[in-house]
């Protein structure tokens, strides 16, 4: 019972916090419409593009999920040397793009060497007005938290760049891109301070914490590596890289 109460407390606290943050920011940043989902539940979601580059419209967006292969993993803030499968059994191909021309005409998925979807992009056609929000749909299939782990939640930091002008990397500025990414990775897509979106999987009551956890669940966080961001953030269309130039 103590384990169930702990899980309810963790899940309730993070969901309440998310609602508060979204309500205050009114999608000022680019975020995920549903940032917290329970394990075992398939969710239709949206990347919510919050605004343009100042008064310049958005012409595309690029989204990268940590692939879990060489990602940085922390447990209660401390580095974890093991694999992501210590906490999530089936992360590899959970997030897939939903086809929609509601905002942009063209779209595609980014895949790793094993064919797993590690992100997606959308762009072209009409631009998104700089003073309006746009919804880019995707789906997260049912995640399974490793039953033997002490994870109460697993938070994935999702890197997103909204594009207002197609330029080379050295042309990135507040007038050409909005970077909703992490700081300190050492990539051209980094922000001065962390500003990535996030997707958190919360443990289900049907998957209680093991007794060995002492009734206390762990908070796990997963961030992409610099190598993955450099590989997956560019947009490839018909076999050619179209952004950055």
pLDDT of res. 95:
97
Q: How far apart are alpha carbons 167 and 59 in whole angstroms?
A: 12
Range in 23-37, 103-117, 194-208 the model is least confident about: 23-37
Give residue limits of the domains in the chain.
2-243
SS3 content of the chain, % helix, strand, coil (to 5): 20, 40, 45
User: What's the pLDDT tens digit per position in 34-80?
Assistant: 999 999 999 999 999 999 999 999 999 999 999 999 999 999 999 99
C-alpha to C-alpha distance for 17 and 130, rounded to whole angstroms: 27
The Cα–Cα gap between 99 and 166 comes to 23
Res 124 pLDDT > 70 = yes
Instruction: Please give the C-alpha separations between residue 237 and each of 28, 62, 64, 230, in angstroms, as whole numbers.
Output: 29, 12, 16, 17
Work out whether the CA dihedral 224, 230, 231, 233 comes out positive or negative.
Answer: positive
Q: Is the pLDDT of residue 6 over 50?
A: no
Spatial distance between the Cα atoms of 84 and 138, rounded to a whole number of angstroms: 22
What confidence score (pLDDT) does residue 113 get? 86
State the average pLDDT over residues 77-88.
97
pLDDT value of residue 27:
52
State CA 135 to chain mean position distance. 14
Asked if pLDDT for residue 11 goes beyond 80, the answer is: no
Backbone angles phi, psi at 5, to 5 degrees: -65, -40
DSSP assignments along 122-153, one per residue: EEEEEEEPTTS-EEEEEEEPPP-B-TTS-EEE
For the segment(s) 2-243, the CATH number from 2.40.50.140, 3.40.50.800, 2.60.40.2230, 3.40.50.720 is 2.60.40.2230
Lowest mean pLDDT among 26-35, 187-196, 204-213: 26-35
């Amino acid at each position: 019972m103590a384990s169930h109460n702990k899980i309810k407390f963790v899940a309730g606290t993070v969901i309440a916090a998310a609602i508060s943050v979204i309500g205050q920011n009114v999608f000022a940043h680019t975020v995920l419409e549903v940032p917290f989902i329970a394990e075992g539940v398939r969710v239709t979601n949206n990347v919510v593009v919050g605004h343009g580059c100042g008064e310049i419209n958005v012409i595309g967006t690029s989204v990268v999920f940590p692939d879990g292969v060489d990602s940085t993993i922390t447990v209660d803030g401390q580095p974890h040397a093991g694999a992501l499968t210590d906490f999530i059994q089936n992360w590899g191909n959970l997030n897939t793009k939903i086809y929609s021309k509601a905002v942009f005409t063209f779209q595609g998925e980014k895949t790793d060497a094993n064919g797993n979807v590690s992100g997606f992009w959308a762009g072209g056609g009409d631009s998104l007005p700089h003073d309006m929000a746009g919804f880019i749909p995707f789906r997260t299939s049912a995640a399974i938290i490793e039953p033997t782990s002490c994870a109460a939640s697993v938070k994935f930091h999702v890197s997103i760049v909204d594009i207002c002008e197609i330029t080379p990397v050295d042309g990135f500025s507040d007038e050409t891109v909005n970077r909703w990414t992490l700081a300190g990775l050492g990539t051209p897509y980094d922000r001065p301070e962390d500003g990535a979106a996030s997707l958190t999987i919360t443990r289900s009551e049907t998957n209680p914490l093991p007794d060995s956890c002492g009734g206390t669940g762990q908070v796990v966080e997963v961030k992409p590596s610099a190598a993955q961001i450099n590989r997956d953030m560019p947009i490839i269309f018909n076999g050619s890289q179209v952004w950055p130039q």
